[in-house]
Amino acid sequence: MSGSFSWVDLAALVVSTASFGVTIAIFLLGRRLSFRQQRERVRELESKAWEVLGPIRTEGLNNKIIIMNVARYERGYDGSNNMTWRGYAYTGPELIEIVHGGVEVVIRGKKSYYDDRGRRTLTPTENPAPTVVEVGHIPWARIEDIAKEGDEFDGAPIFFVRHRAPGRRPYDFITYREGVPVPFGPNSRDYYTQIPELGTRRPRFIRDWVRFVGLIRQNRKMEANARRTWRDGS
């Protein structure tokens, strides 16, 4: 090589890059938990989750929880919930179940219909069916901690969750249940019957990121309109 960059410089660059790669690899390996450590972590989270769900079932408490976006919380949380490229700061679904792989929450209600064979569908037809609810599954691996008592902004329990699904979502999949629960078990808890023919909605990279970008644009447009209205009125 000639000029200001020599073979010695190239060798130094290669060594530095390799050293950096080794450092990153050691760091990542150090963060990996053994199976036993993973189970201990899940047991700790399960215990905290049951401290939230138990009174809901036995005492009839409100089952609203806060799903806090850890990426937003780490950068300073002041109770606001504006949309950014890291997603919303929080959402407020209803906790309904603790399962082997994580927790299940009711996200929202949706209209459903009957198709020409009498099967349930989310595609609009001329035959309306009972309302269904979207139930999101949050895996233990994405839950960092649970604060049973909430915080100064909201008294609802807080689940601190990494929003790792495409489009800054906390759920690794969504199922559909009957919108009206039925009593189940010794405490007659609410049980939401699953609707198999509606299937399972899993994250899709392109679809969910397109949806997210659309929400960002919509939110910014609303904020701009609100600022314009404030200026015109002042």
pLDDT in tens, 200-211: 999 999 999 999
Report which of 67, 144, 131, 148 is spatially closest to residue 105, judged by C-alpha positions: 67
Residues contacting 107, CB < 8 A, separation 6+: 91, 93, 133, 134, 135, 136, 171, 174
**Predicted confidence (pLDDT) per residue in 50-80, tens digit:** 999 999 998 888 999 999 999 999 999 999 9
Q: Are 120 and 114 in contact (CB under 8 A)?
A: yes
Two structure tokens written together for 186 = 């010794």
Each of the 234 residues of the chain gets a pLDDT tens digit; together they read 555 556 655 555 555 565 555 555 544 444 566 888 888 999 999 999 999 999 999 888 899 999 999 999 999 999 999 899 999 999 999 999 999 999 999 999 999 999 999 999 999 999 999 999 999 999 999 999 999 999 999 999 999 999 999 999 999 999 999 999 998 887 788 899 999 999 999 999 999 999 999 999 999 898 888 888 888 876
Q: Are 170 and 138 in contact (CB under 8 A)?
A: yes
CB-count burial class (<10 Å; 0-12, 13-18, 19+) for 135: buried
Contact 180, 162 (CB under 8 A): no
3-state secondary structure (DSSP) of residue 2: coil
* Residue extents of the structural domains in the chain: 32-227
Q: How far is Cα 131 from Cα 196, in angstroms, rounded to an integer? A: 15
What does the alpha-carbon distance between residue 106 and residue 192 come to, in Å, rounded to a whole number?
10
Enter the DSSP assignment of 79. Answer: S
This prediction's pTM: 0.82
Parallel/antiparallel/unpaired status of strands 158-161 and 66-69: parallel
d(CA 90, CA 66): 6
